[in-house]
Structure 1
Amino acid sequence: MTVRAVVRGVGHYLPERVVPNAEFEKSLDTSDEWIRSRSGIERRHFAAEGETTSSMATAAAEKALSAAGLTGADIDALILATSTADFTFPSAASMVQANLGMKGGFAFDVQAVCAGFVYALSQANALIISGQASRVLVIGSETFSKLMDWTDRSTCVLFGDGAGALVLEAQEGEGAPSDRGILATDLHSDGSYRELLYVDGGVSTGTTGHLRMQGREVFRHAVEKLAATAHAALGKAGLGADDVDWIVPHQANLRIISATAQKMGLSMDKVVVTVQDHGNTSAASIPLALSVGVERGQIAEGDVCVTEAIGGGLAWGAVVLRW
């Protein structure tokens, strides 16, 4: 028998404030049509004053735990993927741990920017198959609105805030592609591309800083690397593109999502798309899309899902799981 990390529950949280594209027309040389045509984004959510990465992560985690019929006390490990932790330390994960009443186990953050949730899923899978944990709560939560340069129309219109969470549980499988749970992971990074996407602040500058991006170059790398990592993960799982029920990609840009699906030889009918409503929520985008996909009735038990993402670093990767 083979131990698999199987999804028990999923949930998400979005701030109440919805910001349509038209709102940016008041302060920037932009328009709803300009933003839609270049990104597919129509609106996004921004955190309220006092609303934090950890508070949104807690709300999403509570929904995932409820869906799984569990409480914080049932969780052995908590992994939070984020680039916008409330403080330098302690970790946002440990703050969520306290909020959930999780007295045992351990909690830590993973920072791989937009690829963070894929990295976190891989770490959760490793904990489960190695026997270090039986139940792992994996969260992606971001308040990217706090990193925006509101004078830069090429970036500030693209990002939003939100959180999503999954509960993974150790279950026995046959060691076959037909098993439920995480079937394969594929991770990569290349620090030589740092200048393509970064925040110009941190402890070295004494400032929070703002997000900076070379959009055209990021687009070029994204399509090539996302399709390649998805194919690699499928190969490791003993599956092919024809076996995929859903691609659940990082929701950065509709053109990237469409081009990646095309490069994989898959129809957009097999892609869960939420970017139009959420914008780019970085490490939160994949768990948000998974939760919305379940809520819509798209993702069902037994479906093969491929999640893939690329972010600053550059860091990228994919996870294949059977729901």
Structure 2
Amino acid sequence: MMASNSMITAIGSYVPSTILSNADLETMVETSDEWIRQRTGILERRISASDEGVADLIFGAIDDMVKRYGSALEDVDYILVATSTPETIFPSMASRVQARYGIAACGSADLQAACAGFAVALQMGNGLLLSGLYRKILIVGADALSKITDYTDRTTCILFGDGAGAVLLEASPDGNGQLLAAYSHTNGQGGHHLYLSNLSSTLNGLPLQTSGKIVQNGREVYRWAVSQVTQGIEELIQNSGMTPRDINWFVPHSANQRIIDAMCERTGFEPEQVLSSITYYGNTSAASIPLALSEAVRSGTVKKEDLLLLYGFGGGLTQAGVVLRWSI
């Protein structure tokens, strides 16, 4: 168990309106709907318009959260945005959120932990609340991966989509936090298996492509995910003092259905315990966990007091997860 003084009090999400189906991809690269379904579990993904950036996705998710919960933002005292696709390095996306909503006095920062970003942000947010310096944190996981996808590469372009999810993380009134356990691990030696490079032409002594597009060694990422990431999930469960049967919902990063299936087989989660956004949104990186969670809350699948294990993993190679009790 971990020290915690935080609870999620609101959630929202947003995806662009344009759908990129497997049939659409058949006209773009050498692939097929059957091939994509069998290897990824993806049917379609959402693609942002040419004049729609990640900031627009972020604003859409926050607006949805405010509409659903009537949440006030003026007393937010810190903003954390997890993204790998900021429209500007500086000003940060978090500072653009501050400007958009006119939040008078708050800190702000972007964090870049790729597909683990949302879980990392929850851990960092909990730490800020535990410090006693902050009481209410706005956390967003958002990515517009279509902007950095090579649509001539059939091994990667079938995977990625765009979206955003937002939550409010607040200090618990009674001091009993709902984040119950956490785990993080990094294998930087494997970073060259999944990267995006604009400036550097080498990593770990190996040459990099500098196309400004995602480059992935799918075989090696899969191998890492089903071995080391699975070990991380097991350690998080152990840290929580629970078993997979105690946890209502397993919410992994929606990278690939085959990876999710392998993780369940190795960790003891049943397929019906899984919440995923992979089928209709594809891999949305930092947005995939809050997208899946937001839809499950909206439908009534996730209920107050449910126990959830959220687990992100991806570029870095980085993994991070939390066990929490749902509080709304």
How high is the TM-score relative to the length of structure 1? 0.94
SS at match of 2:261: helix
Q: Deviations over 1:216-266 (max 9, x none)?
A: 110111122332222222322222222110001100100111111111111
Q: Distance in 2 between matches of 1:202 and 1:80?
A: 23
Alignment-mate amino acid for residue 242 of structure 1: R
Offset of residue 78 of structure 1 = 0.8
Segments of 4+ moved more than 4 angstroms: 172-175
Residue matched to 2:188? 191
Written as runs of structure 1 = structure 2, the 5 A alignment for 1:265-280 is: 265-280=268-283
SS at match of 1:285: helix
Residue matched to 1:217? 220
Alignment-mate amino acid for residue 221 of structure 2: V
Residue matched to 2:171? 170
Q: Find the partner of 2:231 among 223, 228, 232.
A: 228
**Is contact 2:8–2:170 with CA below 8 Å preserved after alignment?**
yes
C-alpha root-mean-square deviation of aligned residues, in Å? 1.8
Written as runs of structure 1 = structure 2, the 5 A alignment for 1:50-129 is: 50-129=51-130
**Is contact 2:5–2:175 with CA below 8 Å preserved after alignment?**
no
SS at match of 2:46: strand
Q: Find the partner of 1:295 among 294, 298, 303.
A: 298
Change (3 A) 1:229 1:47: same
**Unpaired stretches in structure 1, ≥5 consecutive residues:** none
Q: Deviations over 1:39-86 (max 9, x none)?
A: 000000000121111111111012223434322212111100000001
**Is contact 1:231–1:240 with CA below 8 Å preserved after alignment?**
no
**Is contact 2:307–2:323 with CA below 8 Å preserved after alignment?**
yes
Residue matched to 1:242? 245
Q: Distance in 1 between matches of 2:274 and 2:182?
A: 19
Q: Distance in 1 between matches of 2:73 and 2:96?
A: 13
Aligned length: 318
> Does residue 198 of structure 2 align to residue 201 of structure 1?
yes
Q: Deviations over 1:167-201 (max 9, x none)?
A: 111114576xxxx6211111111211011100132
Alignment-mate amino acid for residue 233 of structure 2: A
> Does residue 316 of structure 2 align to residue 313 of structure 1?
yes
Offset of residue 293 of structure 1 = 1.2
Q: Distance in 2 between matches of 1:117 and 1:230?
A: 16
Q: Distance in 2 between matches of 1:74 and 1:218?
A: 41
Most deviating of 113-122 and 225-234: 225-234
Q: Distance in 1 between matches of 2:315 and 2:88?
A: 20
Q: Distance in 2 between matches of 1:63 and 1:130?
A: 29
Q: Distance in 2 between matches of 1:14 and 1:208?
A: 26
Alignment-mate amino acid for residue 308 of structure 1: Y
Alignment-mate amino acid for residue 76 of structure 1: D
Residue matched to 2:204? none
**Unpaired stretches in structure 2, ≥5 consecutive residues:** 202-207
**Is contact 1:226–1:309 with CA below 8 Å preserved after alignment?**
no
Alignment-mate amino acid for residue 155 of structure 2: S
Q: Distance in 2 between matches of 1:141 and 1:25?
A: 27
Q: Distance in 1 between matches of 2:282 and 2:62?
A: 21
**Is contact 1:55–1:96 with CA below 8 Å preserved after alignment?**
no
